[in-house]
Amino acid sequence: QVTLVEFGGDSVQAGGTLTLSCTTSGYTYENFLAWFRQAPGKEREGLAAIYTGGGSTYYSDSVKGRFTISRDRAKNTLYLRMDRLGPLDTAMYYCAGYKSSGWSRPLSAAGYKYWGQGTQVTVSS
């Protein structure tokens, strides 16, 4: 049984930093864990992914250089550190795991089997 639960969403000022956490209970696969976000009226956007088998990371152009994905295997926790936040980063943030198809596109939501419930990030200018 895999359960993903996100924590750490908050309201922050533009330019600030926030780190999201996602507990990954029961996740023992050599597969992908990833972070997505969805703003009202927009499609879900893939931000960052990590391959748990070797640690390779992948980032979207919109967050590359600002966001960092990492994983603490001992704590069964996935992290997303977000620097230099701006109002356009306001969204619900989700973690996802186990991509059953489409391994060549780890930032595509299609194929991810497990999803958390989301945590809200609001950035004010």
Q: What is the pLDDT of residues 42-60, one digit of tens each?
A: 999 999 999 999 899 999 9
- Residues 20-35: tens digit of each pLDDT: 999 999 999 999 999 9
SS3 107: coil
Residue 113 confidence (pLDDT) above 90: yes
Q: For residues 63 and 45, is the Cβ–Cβ distance under 8 A?
A: no
Q: In the chain, pLDDT over 70 holds for what percent of residues?
A: 100
**Encoded amino acid at 24, one letter:** T
According to DSSP, the β-strands at 77-82 and 67-72 are antiparallel
Query: What pLDDT shows up at residue 101?
Result: 86
In angstroms, rounded to a whole number, what is the distance separating the alpha carbons of residues 39 and 85? 15
